[in-house]
């Protein structure tokens, strides 16, 4: 059950009518769209600038290289962990098979 808004009048509960929110005017919608468009275009410009800086500057190139090395290290660690766990499972299986 949901509570409905209302009030008591002469000992009886009177529900308040549900009123719809006023529709935004066409001008308000256009202003919102314009604001969002400006934000999106600014974000795209920022991405282009950062990408250019990553590719054309020495700091950017070093950042990319470091990121790639860090990723390679993490991937190698993940595979090492998987291999280690697989070896443990094989040992457990061999122990149980011998019993």
| 58 within domain boundaries | yes
Interval 47-70: pLDDT, tens: 999 999 989 999 999 999 999 999
Q: pLDDT-derived band of residue 78, with 50, 70 and 90 as boundaries?
A: very high
Q: Of the ranges 10-14, 31-35, 95-99, which one carries the lowest mean pLDDT score?
A: 95-99
CA-CA distance, 64 to 72, in Å (whole number)? 12
**34-52 burial by CB neighbour count: b if 16+ within 10 A, else e?**
eeeeeeeeeeeeeeeeeee
| 19 within domain boundaries | no
Q: What is the mean pLDDT of the chain?
A: 89
| 4 within domain boundaries | no
The pLDDT assigned to 1 comes to: 47
| 25 within domain boundaries | no
| 75 within domain boundaries | yes
Residue numbers of the domain that contains 58: 39-99
| 11 within domain boundaries | no
The pLDDT assigned to 94 comes to: 83
Question: Total domain count for the chain?
Answer: 1
pLDDT value at 17 more than 50? yes
The pLDDT assigned to 80 comes to: 96
pTM: 0.49
């Amino acid at each position: 059950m949901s509570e409905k808004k209302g009030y008591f009048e002469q000992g009886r509960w009177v529900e308040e009518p549900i009123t719809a929110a006023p529709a935004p005017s066409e001008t308000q919608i256009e202003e919102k769209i314009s604001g969002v468009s400006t934000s999106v275009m600014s974000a795209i410009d920022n991405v282009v600038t950062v990408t250019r800086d990553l590719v054309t500057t020495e700091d950017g190139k070093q950042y990319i290289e470091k990121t790639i090395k860090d990723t390679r290290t993490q991937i190698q660690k993940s595979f090492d962990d998987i291999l280690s766990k697989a070896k443990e499972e094989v040992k457990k299986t061999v122990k149980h098979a011998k019993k």
